[in-house]
Structure 1
Amino acid sequence: MLKSDSKVNTKVNIQEMIGAIASGKLRADLHNHSLYSDGKSTPEEIVLSAIDKRLDVIGISDHAPVGFKDARWSIRREKIDEYIYVLGELKEKYKDKITLLTGLEVDYYKDCDEHIKALRLTRFDYTIGSVHFFSIKKAVGDYYGIDSSPIELAAAIVQAKGVVQNVCQDYFTYIVKAAKSGYFSFVGHFDLIKKYNFDSTYFVESEEWYQTMSKLALAEIAAANIPMEINTSASRKGHNDYYPSKFLVEEARRLGITLITNSDSHHKDEVGYGQG
């Protein structure tokens, strides 16, 4: 059995490092996925890409398994120790060229606390708190996905009495719960609810109800004193925007939320996208 715990750099002060990244003292990308979850590149390929792009810090943050299904896009439970061990070996191999952090993107969803505790998050240098599921259950027992497909989003809206405000409120409620949970180092893609709404199919972001709902959620995150990412993946995929939208980035800055820019890469060539 791999002794994964011994390979984690327990001396990393992640909040101090996030502060240095946010202030521009360090160039970093802390949201990257490898072959261990739904990425297309090995951890070493990601590290080498980050070195080539002259980043100071690279974090690999594969998707944690969820407690109610074996999601094809998450790391397999039996591979978690190996994942930590392999990243630990790469930390040592490239320590003179870059700082590598072992991260995990963890889903926060209804009744997830026992599952999250079982993941033993202290093994990781940092964790990203994200919401990919509504609290609305399907007939077969798992939850509707927020970004699984346009069809699944539409089905969730139908289950929410056909009211799009209901699913948006559900989403932001759990983003806030994640921020307040104490499990996470920072919040991931704050307004992922818009992934299949860039053409305003379901709602218009300038509408008063959405502005109010999203800004109230931001205020709760500010009160929780937790950093948040600017996730550039939407821009990389051809949209003229990030997660969160520009008006929410401005509001987050007004509220004093610490912001760091991450690529959410799934291929080595995407590492560092949007780092300027």
Structure 2
Amino acid sequence: MIRKVLALINKSDVVVEVVDSREPDLTRSRKIEDISRRKDKKLLIVINKGDLIPLDVLQKWKEYIERKDEIPTVYISATGHLGTKVLRDKIKELLGGKQEGIVVLVGYPKTGKSSIINALKGRHSATTSKFPMSYGYTKAVQLFRVDSRLYIWDTPGIIPPDGNELERIIRGINVDKLEDPVRAAKLLFDRIQQFDPNVIKNVYKLDYSDYYDFLNKLALKRGWIYKTTKEPNIDEAAKVLIRDYHDGKIIYYTYPPDVKTDDKSSSV
């Protein structure tokens, strides 16, 4: 699948990389960025799901990426159609004086590439889905005409998500293929707790002492019980935690590495 993405980069004028606003750094593909630069392609990073985090944190990420990596960056909320004009204008700016241009959207599963196409066109036209690799997920490359000057390739997510286990989870791994969802979800749980210790309690309306107590109580609350042992199905609870994160139900945010403590406290 990655070969198809590389072939489309060759055919395109601008590479638009879509990342998740909650974890911009962990949802970037340095490999794709490096390839795009080596091929002398214009590169734009789009921080999507901007409605999930504070505006000043989005601005800090934009400034950080542009300063550190010298990659033009915009932030939007594709589902809320916020920032769409800024994105469209930035793409056309990168195209320069060309009468027509082709853009390729790249990104990990669940960063919202198809939703961005829908937002740019102003009506639903690209395939979208709720979970990675489920029915309706973008499996084939599709070309969409946005307007008289702009064409966009929609590509499948970079499958399988790479990196360490936490990074693969955040980058949209298929939870049904996890060998040990309980262990995997603990990495995400710990990551979320690191930045906001109350968010999971607020989302699930549960009070718990630790991760495993959370899984047990969530399984019991949802009625997920093994028929034979009558024990809580904590595997299913772990999968739901990961799915809910990708569905935008669990909201926390990270800061760029160079943001000082005082700057962080002013954003909360």
TM-score normalised over the length of structure 2? 0.30
Bigger RCO (CA 8 Å, 6+ sep): 1
Taking structure 1 as the reference length, the TM-score comes to: 0.30
Q: Which has the larger radius of gyration?
A: 2
